Amino acid sequence: MRVLCILNGGVEHPSSRLRVLQHLALLKGRGIDADVFVAKRRRAADLADLARRARRSHAVLVQKKLFARWKLPLLLGPAPILFDLDDAVFTVSPDERERFGAERAEKRAASRRRRLAAVLRRSHRVIAGNRFLAEYAARFARDVTVLPTAVDLRLFPDGALRRAREARRAGGRAPRIGWVGSRPSLRYLPALAEPLRRVLAETGGIFVQICSEFVDLPGVPTETITWSLEDEPSALLDLDLGVMPLDDTAFSQGKCGLKILMYQAAGLPVVCSPVGANRDLVRENETGFFARTTDEWADRLRRLVADPRLALEMGERGRALVEEHYEASAVGARLADLVAGAAGRAAAG
């Protein structure tokens, strides 16, 4: 059984890596051979190659890539399409608005909505990263399944996790409040400047940014760590708690909460905005806290920094939650079932 996987990037692209590539070995073990096509170019030869490979496949898994409506039957052929949606591509992103201006950005979003509607209508099944995205997809698609982004817990082996817990339990160091993310998400951090200033001034702690770029937060003691795929797990294990601020917009509601899953996989408690998937991934007062206002952020951060035992207990419950619901092998098995079901139906037909 062969599935053609159409991606926007390779392992450096988070959606491609976490929604598809990390599951390919499991698919292979289930008798599903993946043919990966990275759709970066639009040359005629590349499109012709895509069309040939689609015709040889029993199913086509498209990770968020949009095509003009008239191109869909030409490029993807008769094989059933599984469309994976893990971002609110039907909205205007803040970066897009800044770069192109409001009017042009909305025109671009309208174009994406038309192309998205076309592929959703044509899809055998839509795989949505959260409930918000699933509700949007259901306007156009027949079958929609919510499949969360998953974490490979082998990145946080028991020995490393145990040593990190022992270091947190021992105390004796400045508290480390951390954030991991990509450059576009840096825009959410200035909202944390005031609560961080308050809490870190009281505790002598430090704010850790793990990213390819960084934002200056005046008055906030900050350590910067350049993100890399190899070093991300160890950087997270060296934190005491993780944060994920968001604004309450349609674009933010489309986010699938990867930061929270990574924090919890590292055994960290979480403080986050109660937006979108965050509300499903964090169990308030059990694995972390929600915060809406400056005062709430300061209070939640202060409670975790002041009570290491509470932070450890929340982190352990968060890790257990990931093990139960968001571990890569379990989520990958569900993806394999969806691919096999689509391909099997096509073969039977």
Domains and CATH numbers, the chain: 2-150+327-348 (3.40.50.2000), 153-325 (3.40.50.2000)
DSSP line for 184-227:
GGGGGGGGGHHHHHHHHHHHT-EEEEEESS----TT--EEEEE-
What pLDDT was estimated at residue 70? 84
DSSP 58: S
3-class state of residue 108 by DSSP: helix
pLDDT, position 171: 77
Residue pair 156/327 in contact (Cβ under 8 Å)? The answer is no
What is the DSSP track for 150-178? -B-GGGS-HHHHHHHHHHHHH--S--EEE
pLDDT value for 76: 85
Q: What is the pLDDT of residue 68?
A: 86
pLDDT tens-digit series, residues 281-319:
999 999 999 999 999 999 999 999 999 999 999 999 999
3-state helix, strand, coil in the chain (%, to 5): 50, 15, 30
pLDDT digits (tens, 9 = 90+) for 54-109: 999 999 999 999 998 888 888 888 999 999 999 999 999 999 999 999 999 999 99
Query: Tell me: the pLDDT tens digits for 112-151?
Result: 999 999 999 999 999 999 999 999 999 999 999 999 999 9
pLDDT above 80: residue 345: no
Which pLDDT belongs to residue 74? Answer: 81
Task: Report pLDDT for 41.
Answer: 65
Q: What is the pLDDT of residue 15?
A: 94
- 3-class secondary structure, 65: coil
Q: Give the torsion sign (CA, 155, 159, 160, 161).
A: positive
215-254, pLDDT tens digit by residue? 999 999 999 999 999 999 999 999 999 999 999 999 999 9
How much is the pLDDT for 46?
84
pLDDT, one tens digit per residue, over 9-60 is 999 899 999 999 999 999 999 999 999 999 876 677 788 889 999 999 999 9
Choose the weakest-confidence range: 104-108, 162-166, 202-206, 257-261: 162-166
Query: pLDDT at position 348, please?
Result: 53
Predicted local distance difference test score (pLDDT) of residue 12: 87
